[in-house]
Each structure stands twice: as structure tokens, then as C-alpha cells.
Chain A
Amino acid sequence: MASLGDLKPSKKIVPFVNESTLVPVKSNKQILWAWRISLCCALALIVLLPILSPDPYARILRVLPDGILNTFLVTICSMALALIIGVLTGLGQITTFTPVRILCTTYVEIVRGIPLLIQLFYIYYALGKFVALPAMISAIIAMAVCYGAYISEIFRSGMQSIPKGQMEASMALGLSRSQSIIYVILPQTFRIVLPPIGNEFIALLKDSSLVSILAISDLSRRGREFAAATFTHFETYTMIALIYLAITLVMSKGVAYFEERTNYYEN
């Protein structure tokens, strides 16, 4: 009789992990090699092109740094806010208090059904009619509200993938429901959701190029301005694509690190 107790719960109940980005974990040789090759090529081109052909590549490289900073600023602020929204509404989606549950689930459904671009316009222009917020703030709010919904879903399904026996064992020991969530369910959930959340982080960084539409000087906007002024569309967008690629490749290695670490306490 194979003992049921040795089933590793929640080990690979994360079907959404590999959806958006190919994660270069050690166990997947093919993707790991693809990752190494792409990163080497991207970095080599970013370094070599400006050396071999300083005009216009070196000039392009010089106008981009504060764009990159803005891209990071938008991404990190949105992500931090989205995580807070995601955890809270994720908990809201599984609470036994029905009004909150319905509210949170509705938020997730609505937001996931509307393109991010429209949400950006909505918060900046449409709601701008009532409260005029700086473009940067509008952008961060819009991205956070949008990604908060996706992260909420990840948290909800992550929490629900924790075997029911965990909650029962915790309650049987006399912990309250909220104590059980804090000390038993959430710590296990964080480990499960780290990789998919990392993927959302990468997706958010890429989507942050949309904020250039609100006249925020991020990487994309900086590039577009330079290309328009110098008519070097091919060279500029090549450089921008390479920079986005290098950043997301490095980030996906970070996700892989978390994914490999997630189960360190099992075996």
C-alpha cells in the first residue's frame, strides 16, 4: 500500500506558472539553454552595436537611462500596490463574509475583462474629469488596479490549493480562522505563488510600456521621441527591444530561483 501521507501536497499545483514566461529552471535544459543564448545575444548586441556603430547606437543608449529609471519606477510602485491589493482582495475572495466576497470577486471579474490600455485612459482621462491626478500617479494606480486583480486570482487559487486538512488541523488545535490563515495558510501560499507572482512582475514590466501613452517618459517613450526626431526607427526600436529583453530575461532567472527554492522544506 503506497501511503497516501507521502503525497506531496501542493508541489506542482501551479499550472499557471509557465503560462506567460518560459522559466529557466535547472530541470528544464532546453529552456535554460534558450535563456542563456538569448541573454548572451541581447547583452552582446547592447554592448557591441554602440561600439561598432556609435552613430546612432551610442546616442540612443545615452538618452535611454532615465527612461529605464521611469520604467522601473512605474513597475515597482505598481507592483507593490498591486501586491497589497491582490493579497487583500484574494483574502476577500475566500472570506466567509458574503458581501466582501462578492465585492472582491466582482472587482476581479470586471478588471480582468477590460484591456489595460482602456483602464489607463479611464483613470487618467475619464476620471480625470473629477479628480485630476498627475500622469505618473494615474498610471501607477491603473496598473496596480489591473494587476491587483490578476494577483488576487493567483492568491485565491493558491490559498484554495492548500489541502483542507491544514485548516482543519489548525482549527482543531484551537486557532481561530484568522490565526489559521495567518500562521498556516498564508505562509504556504506565499511559497506556492512566488513563481506566478514573479511572472506577473515580468508581465507588468512589459505592459508598463503602455504608460508612455500618458506622456510618461519611460523607456518606450524616450525611444519613440528619439526615433521621431532622428528618423532612426530601426536602430532605436532594436535597442529598446534588446533592453526590454535583457531586463525580462534577468527577471525570469529570478523567478526560476524562487521556483526552485519553493519546495526546499520538502526533502
Chain B
Amino acid sequence: MKTDQTKTKLRIEQLSKTFNNEVNALQNVSLEVETKEVVVIVGPSGSGKSTLLRSINALEIPDSGSIYLGDELIHMDPKHIRLVRERIGMVFQQFNLFPHLTALQNIILAPTRVKHIRKSQAEERAHDLLRTVGLTDKAKSYPGQLSGGQKQRIAIARALAMDPEVMLFDEPTSALDPEMIKEVLDVMVHLAKNEGMTMIVVSHEMGFARAAADRVIFMDKGQIIETAPPQELFNNPKEERTKRFLNHIL
């Protein structure tokens, strides 16, 4: 599936996180993601999918374990975390667009304030990104004037504006009305297939996983239970827990 470069983009080693001394959200999770690879994570609610994703860009500070971006160990100090976050894009279930800023202003905020790119240049890039997500006419709209699907596409454009090396998606379509799911998934498939973006996606959209994922990971109770290409994991899961879960959501 991967052609010439099979370089590791992200390496997670023995990651553990416990909340309030009792909830083991992550237990010794290890995972390697290659450049341009698309990994989909599935698993029941509370299995630690969000915690894993949020640990990667240090929105959650793990108790133990290490994360490498490229060859670089991520140190959990504020300065280094910021540099790492510039290189990792994140898309949230609830979009989290900034409601006081227009779509365009949402997109250029980080490039201008963090990377100090000139405003005109950032805007030019923003318009390109708006074209990528199919919302050229919404540059001046406020988030409150957009549908859920449009908001999420702007949120994707906002993350892409920092030219991230990895994109993290935490249930990007779970808050959407069914008729809007496709427009968001289409953008994500485009990113995976045409732009060769390295992506980790928490989502139960089987269609997306089959269309774009190189690997699907099943998580339960803070652990990775099974990893396989989508066809294999969905059609012939090896683990009993995976089978039960798939029966449950299909």
C-alpha cells in the first residue's frame, strides 16, 4: 500500500494515562504511524480514543510513555509543546470554531499570530484552503451562520492552514446531522488520497475507513486490542471483543 517512503511519522511508546487515580484511560498503548498513512481508530465510548489523540498534541499530559514526532521526542514542557502543536492539526467533534471571527479570520489566526506570516499571504492561502473544502463563498461568514457540515469543513481548513505534518480527527462527523456527514468525509478522503496527508481518525464511519484507511485499530478499555487493514478488521476480526463491538455498531 505504501510505496517508496515508509518513514515513521509518529511513534507512540507505552503511553499510559489515569484520570483521578482510578480511570485507566490509556494502558501502555504503543502505535507507529508512517508518513502518509491513514489510521482509523474505533472502539466503544470511554475506551480512551480521545485521550490517545489528545495526548499526541499534549492537550492531555500522559502519566508515562513517550511520543516521537518524526525522530524527535516530544518533551512535555510548554515551549516544546507549542512547537509540536504547530506541526499537528486537530479537528474536534464540536468544531470549536471561534464564533467572534469570520471563517477567513478563523483560518488565518494561527498562521499570522504563531508563524507570523503576512496577512495578505495568509489570506491568499486561506482562500486556497476554502476552495479545497468547497466553501469559497463562505469566507466572510461567521460560524453562527454556517451549517454543522460547513463548520467542520472550515475547522479542517483552519487546521490545514498551519501546514501540519499530521492531522488528528476526533469523531469529526458525530455531531453532524446525517445529511451533512458526507460533505465532511469527502474532504477527508480527498486529504488522504490526493494530498497524502498523514491522518489519525477516530470515527465509526466504516465507509470512510474502507475508502481511505490503511489500518483500522480497535481500542477497548484503554488498550489497543487489534490492528488490521479495514477489510480484514471489519470482515474477519480475530479478537472476540472486536467481533462483539462490530456486531454492536453494524
**Contacts from A to B (Cβ < 8 Å):** 1, 3-6, 8-9, 163, 165-166, 168-177, 179, 183-184, 187-188, 191, 263, 265-267
Known: A6-B148, A165-B92, A168-B92. A175 touches B113 (CB 8 A): yes
Which of B35-43, B95-103, B206-214, B240-248 faces chain A?
B95-103
CA distance A176 to B77 in the complex (A): 12
Q: Give the Cβ gap from A117 to chain B, nearest Cβ, in Å.
A: 39
Task: Please tell me which one of the listed residues A1, A172, A188 contacts residue B99 in the complex, with CB atoms under 8 A apart.
Answer: A188
A-B pairs with lowest CB-CB distance, top 9: A266-B144, A169-B96, A173-B110, A174-B86, A165-B96, A265-B142, A5-B175, A172-B90, A174-B114
**Overall SS of chain A's interface:** helix
B151, A175: Cβ atoms closer than 8 Å: no
B57, A172: Cβ atoms closer than 8 Å: yes
Q: Give the Cβ gap from B12 to chain A, nearest Cβ, in Å.
A: 18
CA distance A179 to B155 in the complex (A): 19
Q: Give the Cβ gap from B61 to chain A, nearest Cβ, in Å.
A: 12
CA distance A1 to B89 in the complex (A): 28
A171, B85: Cβ atoms closer than 8 Å: yes
Task: Please tell me which one of the listed residues B98, B148, B162 contacts residue A174 in the complex, with CB atoms under 8 A apart.
Answer: B162
A177 / chain B contacts, CB cutoff of 8 Å = 78
Known: A172-B57, A265-B142. A3 touches B99 (CB 8 A): no
A183, B113: Cβ atoms closer than 8 Å: yes
B175, A174: Cβ atoms closer than 8 Å: no
A174, B110: Cβ atoms closer than 8 Å: yes
Q: Give the Cβ gap from A200 to chain B, nearest Cβ, in Å.
A: 22
Q: How many residues of B contact A (CB 8 A)?
A: 39
| Nearest chain B residue, comparing its CB with the CB of A9 | B99
B100, A173: Cβ atoms closer than 8 Å: no
Contacts beyond the supplied A169-B90, A173-B114, A174-B83: 6 A-B pairs with Cβ under 8 Å: A5-B151, A169-B98, A172-B89, A176-B78, A188-B100, A265-B100
A263 / chain B contacts, CB cutoff of 8 Å = 144
Known: A3-B175, A179-B113, A267-B145. A184 touches B92 (CB 8 A): no
Indicate if B153 sits at the interface (CB-CB under 8 A).
no
Query: What would be 29 A-B contacts, judged by CB atoms less than 8 Å apart?
Result: A3-B175, A3-B177, A5-B151, A8-B144, A163-B94, A165-B94, A165-B96, A168-B96, A169-B90, A169-B97, A169-B98, A171-B59, A172-B57, A173-B109, A173-B158, A173-B159, A174-B86, A174-B114, A175-B82, A175-B114, A184-B98, A184-B109, A187-B100, A188-B98, A191-B100, A265-B144, A266-B142, A266-B144, A267-B144
Indicate if B176 sits at the interface (CB-CB under 8 A).
yes
B177, A1: Cβ atoms closer than 8 Å: yes
CA distance A183 to B99 in the complex (A): 12
CA distance A175 to B152 in the complex (A): 20
Q: Give the Cβ gap from B97 to chain A, nearest Cβ, in Å.
A: 8
A174 / chain B contacts, CB cutoff of 8 Å = 82-83, 85-86, 110, 114-115, 162
B175 / chain A contacts, CB cutoff of 8 Å = 3-5
CA distance A51 to B63 in the complex (A): 80
CA distance A168 to B144 in the complex (A): 19
Cβ proximity bits B72-93 to A, threshold 8 Å, 1 near / 0 not? 0000001000110110111011
A5 / chain B contacts, CB cutoff of 8 Å = 94-95, 148, 151-152, 175-176
CA distance A165 to B83 in the complex (A): 20
